[in-house]
Amino acid sequence: MCGFKSRSIAPLIRKYGTQSQLSAFKELFGLNDQASQLVTGEREDERRAVLPPDFQLLTVAPVSDPDVKAAWRYLVGRGLTEKDAWYFKFGLSNEPRWKRRILMPSFDSSGNLNYFTARAIDKDRKPKYDNPDVDKNPVVFNDINLVWTKQVVLVEGPFDLVKCPENTTALLGSELDERHEIFNKILINNTPVALALDGDMWDTKTPKIAKKLAEYDVDYVVVDVRAWGDPGSMSKAEFEKALAEASRPTWEDEFSRKLKRAGQVSLRL
């Protein structure tokens, strides 16, 4: 196959076939776990995210189900609509780990599932977010909808992404450097970036990432969401306005202003 290099057909089966076909391949050649990893290219740290077998789109789930009603109530409370539910393919599962959580899947540029997150709809549910046990660094959340030749908005979590323009991806945390596939795609495509981390990261992780982007001469601006806390707490119109006002702040100037304000307060005291 043009552009494909491998010592076996296992990667093709893994990509285009089913899990049962891959299992049959391993059984046919008597592959144990260690040998299987060598032949198929599957390593412990390359496990792929898999949605629960009973995953059901929220938009087609029976509204008579109390969990479905609660999920809709949660989404409406966050300012989201049925159109959003279709677009982001929100879903539900009855498996104990995922029950009464809204599952938000992500797909790579080829349309294959590459991750999902699950948000609890009950206030006292811990953890608030649960994610599959896979390495996040190779994941580009929402890659299927991204146009890398245009400005890409970077937020921390998937439920921040839902209030942002379509060309947005989630870091699945607050780190970004050479280890992350998102970072590499930005460099390869010379993609301009709008950095929109949570407000409490303004003096810590935001300048750290901004510095890293600057090191590689990436064209970036920073979206100030401190008044709301995070993008997920904003309306779409509020985020759009904040994005339009985004700039490249100088944290040294910000630090000087804080020192000046602190000095004025001590003088008044």
- Taking only the tens place, the pLDDT of each residue in 229-259 is 999 999 999 999 999 999 998 876 666 656 6
- Block residue for tokens 């049959």: 24
Confidence category of residue 6, pLDDT binned at 50, 70, 90: very low
Confidence category of residue 40, pLDDT binned at 50, 70, 90: very low
Helix (H) and strand (E) counts in the chain: 10, 9
Q: What is the pLDDT of residue 174?
A: 97
- Block residue for tokens 């959580």: 101
pLDDT of 170 above 50: yes
Q: What is the pLDDT of residue 42?
A: 46
Q: What is the DSSP letter of 54?
A: T
User: Which is higher by pLDDT, 46 or 16?
Assistant: 46
Helix (H) or strand (E) holding 77: helix 66-77
Q: What is the pLDDT of residue 29?
A: 56
Contact 13, 21 (CB under 8 A): yes
Confidence category of residue 44, pLDDT binned at 50, 70, 90: very low
CA-based Rg of the chain, rounded to a whole angstrom? 22
pLDDT of 2 above 50: no
Instruction: Report the percent of the chain where pLDDT is more than 70.
Output: 76
Maximum C-alpha span of the chain: 81
Confidence category of residue 39, pLDDT binned at 50, 70, 90: very low
pLDDT of 96 above 60: yes
- What does the chain come to in residues? 269
Q: What is the pLDDT of residue 250?
A: 83
Query: What domains appear along the chain, each with residue ranges and CATH number?
Result: 10-42 (no CATH), 56-130 (3.90.980.10), 143-254 (3.40.1360.10)
Instruction: Report the percent of the chain where pLDDT is more than 90.
Output: 74
In whole angstroms, give the CA distance from residue 88 to residue 93: 16
Q: What is the pLDDT of residue 36?
A: 43
Helix (H) or strand (E) holding 265: helix 251-268
End-to-end CA distance of the chain: 76
Least confident of 33-42, 77-86, 126-135, 233-242: 33-42
Residue 212: how many other CB atoms lie within 10 Å:
16
pLDDT of 97 above 60: yes
In whole angstroms, give the CA distance from residue 17 to residue 259: 61
Confidence category of residue 222, pLDDT binned at 50, 70, 90: very high
Contacts of 141 (CB under 8 A, 6+ apart): 106, 114, 115, 158, 161, 169, 170, 171, 172
Quick: pLDDT tens for 54-65.
999 999 999 999
Q: Which of 198, 202, 248, 201 is nearest to 222 (CA)?
A: 248
Q: What is the pLDDT of residue 47?
A: 80
Please confirm whether the linkage preceding 207 is cis (ω < 30° from 0). no
Q: What is the pLDDT of residue 151?
A: 98
Could you tell me the two tokens for 240?
């759009």
pLDDT of 53 above 50: yes
DSSP per-residue letters across 186-247: HHHHT--EEE---GGGTTTHHHHHHHHHHHTT--EEE---TTTSSGGGS-HHHHHHHHHT-B
